[in-house]
Structure 1
């Protein structure tokens, strides 16, 4: 599968956004098809102040606001040019980078969503603040983007120093297959190392637990060895199909590893544990899992990885 390598990079004028730009410089493969759009939504003056421009008593105040707006816009342009220079010094051709300073129209999140519909292959953004996504409030720009931009992958840049090691968390869902194809098309042939990872959930973790103090609980359910082996065989076929896709995309067979965890209480925790212990900087998950329940917002596993893996970069495909 060939994809258009056009990335919408969200920058807000902060030093944390510079980390996003550095991630692109250090991680993304550079070729002649690469295109990066550095995108900033500029608020400017609030609408209510614009309505006062014709009021004689507000001339001085409006003039001060106009001057302040011009200074802010100049500062943002300087910042965007700085981000562009970081990319060009990293080897990205100057003609492959576009700067867009967008005047806010319908709201920051809505304007970003509309821009993302213009033939982009991915949206790249930072985590908000030091507490990352698990501390953001419902309704924030980051949450709105995760909820609404389901038509292209979202890359959420974390704090861990970038390397070319990827943990590819897979299942048998169409979303997971799409993630594998996306990674292969974008990164194949550029020397990346990939671990194909799957956690088989333990039956005990599926028992219902009642919060009431005196309420009974279902007993722990054991999984017979032959049942575990059946799951492992099925998963091994899944991992082999994933590996074949990566090989066809140009990944080196010596840089592809596979790992199956059995009896997991939480797939997301196992993914994060493996990422930490294996020294991976980037996690790739499908947006939706196999069940209808997991289609809410995005897959439960992907959701927990995004929120819990605050220091890692997470690709939601």
Structure 2
């Protein structure tokens, strides 16, 4: 065993069912609240469902070195019965007679997910995290898996980390139903969707000069400050029917086009200066402006791949900022197009 390896017995990661019940309560409106107000601003909430896919999320945390300065809470919502039972619209928890195997199923699931969480914690500590920074919680389902995760994530966490698909997702689907609900509804905290591509600490930050992209810059700086991450700052402008190509000098084009170009140039230059001030070496920062794009999401994904980046960062909403929609179309498309990469959606 290497000197960095850790035994499960060395970690106090056991979960007492009574402590789980005591940590949260449900009032008669069905809302779940925490009894203690904690400062979660430096803590990443990691949603795990016990699947092999979710275990790869732990690998992402081990690979992405800047997060080792964050506290990590591994979080699971445990259902008291199989998902199929909920579809029957019968109160098996209170109606008699209850199905005979429900209690046994829940006990087995609790044992399984507890072992899973303990193993995940072992891997994080072996990967470089300190014991005091990693904890886990198994919470009984209250309002539904997605809603319970959203409720917890809304308590001021630095970010929510999840995967696109969990245990029940169909093979040909990019995102499972739980993750889709979370991305659509949770706008109070950045959402990090870990991909299957191994993290190499190279980040592609898509900028358009909007308030949303400025928030993406702010969050990324807080995440990587003082690290040796490589940062690619890129703005992709659509084909306006006037100019084509990449990194093209806008020259003597119409005044309003030059204003757009100047705006994104200023946004990129400002972001570069801020990353330098946060400790990122100038030779680890690259600036790009791409014009003539027919589909921004495709160009963002392709360019991030060309730059050998593992993570794409976008603001939740861009220049259009349509209030009827909780997330812009470009972030949505990038999640699907860059399906192997990690995508950060910043609110």
Output the CA distance in 1 between the equivalents of 2:284 and 2:243. 36
Deviation, 1:28, is: 3.9
Residue equivalent to 2:185: 148
The correspondence for 1:107, drawn from 144, 150, 171, is 144
The correspondence for 1:48, drawn from 91, 99, 107, is 91
Structure 1 pair 132/246, CA: closer, same or farther in 2 (3 Å)? farther
| 2:233 match: secondary structure | strand
Q: Deviations over 1:29-48 (max 9, x none)?
A: 2555x211100010013573
The correspondence for 2:111, drawn from 61, 74, 77, is 74
The correspondence for 2:307, drawn from 278, 283, 289, is 278
Output the CA distance in 2 between the equivalents of 1:244 and 1:294. 31
Residue equivalent to 2:342: 313
Q: Give the total of aligned pairs.
A: 288
Structure 1 pair 91/278, CA: closer, same or farther in 2 (3 Å)? same
Deviation, 1:50, is: 2.1
Q: Deviations over 1:254-311 (max 9, x none)?
A: 1000011111111111101101111111000010101144862312211111121111
Deviation, 1:230, is: 5.1
| 1:51 match: secondary structure | coil
Q: TM-score, normalised by structure 1?
A: 0.84
- Is the Cα contact below 8 Å between 1:281 and 1:313 reproduced in 2? yes
Q: Which consecutive unaligned segments of at least 5 residues does structure 1 have?
A: 205-220
| 1:111 match: secondary structure | helix
Asked if 1:252 is matched to 2:252, the reply is no
| 1:167 match: secondary structure | strand
Q: CA RMSD in A?
A: 2.1
| 1:50 match: secondary structure | coil
Structure 1 pair 293/52, CA: closer, same or farther in 2 (3 Å)? closer
- Is the Cα contact below 8 Å between 1:168 and 1:195 reproduced in 2? yes
Q: Which consecutive unaligned segments of at least 5 residues does structure 2 have?
A: 1-39, 245-249
What pairs up with 1:1-317 in 2 under 5 angstroms? 4-30=41-67, 34-45=70-81, 48-52=91-95, 55=97, 62=100, 64-128=101-165, 129=169, 130-131=171-172, 133=174, 136=176, 140-204=177-241, 225-227=251-253, 231-293=260-322, 296-317=325-346
